[in-house]
Structure formats: structure tokens, C-alpha cells
Amino acid sequence: MNLLLALLLRLDRAGFFLVNVSLANPVFDVLMPWITNLNHWWFVLVAGWCYLFWRGDRQTRFFALTLLLSIGLANLLSSEVLKPLVHRFRPCKTLDGFRLLGHCGGRWGFPSSHAANAAAAGTVLARMFPRWRWAFALL
């Protein structure tokens, strides 16, 4: 078991450095911090949710509430339950030789709350708009 865990940790570290260092480029250095900053998107997200809730039919309002609830539960589960349980430090707390473009967040980094929230939203939106399900899979 320890051998398997050591292999997984080596693969994880290699993947991190591949993306963070080897695939780094000036376009993503500007684009990714901007895209992942919720302050740039909150108005669009809230306006979109309000539009779905107030202009939609009964089923659409149900999905809008389900969307809100699923994101809230995913965030709560990842940040308050799983992160303290797993105790996996963020790479910026334990590794050297990587590129940090913004601030280093809280103590625990796994599971990613961004990923959990996006997966929850993508799942609900794919059910709500089946024609666009592959686009929501990219979330």
C-alpha cells in the first residue's frame, strides 16, 4: 500500500509541475488568475441565476434552487468536512520551485472547493439543459 501511495504522490507532483512550470505561458499567466477570480464573475452569475428563477417556469425555478443548494452543499462538504479530514496541504505551503501568480490560500488544498463547486454546478446545469451537457462538462 505504501508503494502505491508513494507512486500516486510522485505522479501528482509530476503532474503539478508539468502544468505549473512546463506548460506555463504569458497568456495563461494573465488569463487564468482573471478567469478564476469570482469577483469578476459574481454579477453575471447572480444575474443569470435571478433570470432563471424569476423568468423560468416551475421546473426552471426548481432547477435554479437545486443549483444554489448543490453548490452550497458541495462547498460545505469540501471545505468544512473533507479538507480537515484529508489534511492535504496546498502545494504552495509544501513545495519549492513552482510559480505562484496570486496569493496562497488557506491551509488545506484537497479537495479543491473550486472543483467541487464547478462539478456540482455542471451536473445540475447538464440536467437542466441536456443539449448543452458537454459544454457544462468543461466546467
The 10s digit of each residue's pLDDT in 64-119 is 899 999 999 999 999 999 998 988 888 877 777 777 777 777 778 788 888 899 99
Which phi and psi (to 5°) does residue 108 adopt? Answer: -95, 140
In a domain, 13, yes or no: no
Host domain of residue 54: 40-137
Contacts of 70 (CB under 8 A, 6+ apart): 120, 121, 123, 124
Average pLDDT, the chain: 86
In a domain, 4, yes or no: no
Rounded to the nearest 10 degrees, the angle between the axes of helix 42-55 and helix 58-76 is 140
- Are 107 and 93 contacting, i.e. CB atoms less than 8 angstroms apart? yes
pLDDT above 90: residue 28:
no
Percent over 70 (pLDDT), the chain: 99
Confidence of residue 139 (pLDDT cuts 50, 70, 90): low
Averaged pLDDT, 18-24: 86
pTM: 0.74
In a domain, 17, yes or no: no
Distance CA 109, CA 47 (A): 30
In a domain, 105, yes or no: yes
pLDDT above 80: residue 30:
yes
Helix (H) or strand (E) holding 89: strand 88-89
In a domain, 74, yes or no: yes
In a domain, 109, yes or no: yes
Q: What pLDDT is recorded for position 70? A: 95
- Are 67 and 49 contacting, i.e. CB atoms less than 8 angstroms apart? yes
Q: What pLDDT is recorded for position 50? A: 92
In a domain, 125, yes or no: yes
Total structural domains in the chain?
1
Helix (H) or strand (E) holding 108: strand 108-110
In a domain, 18, yes or no: no
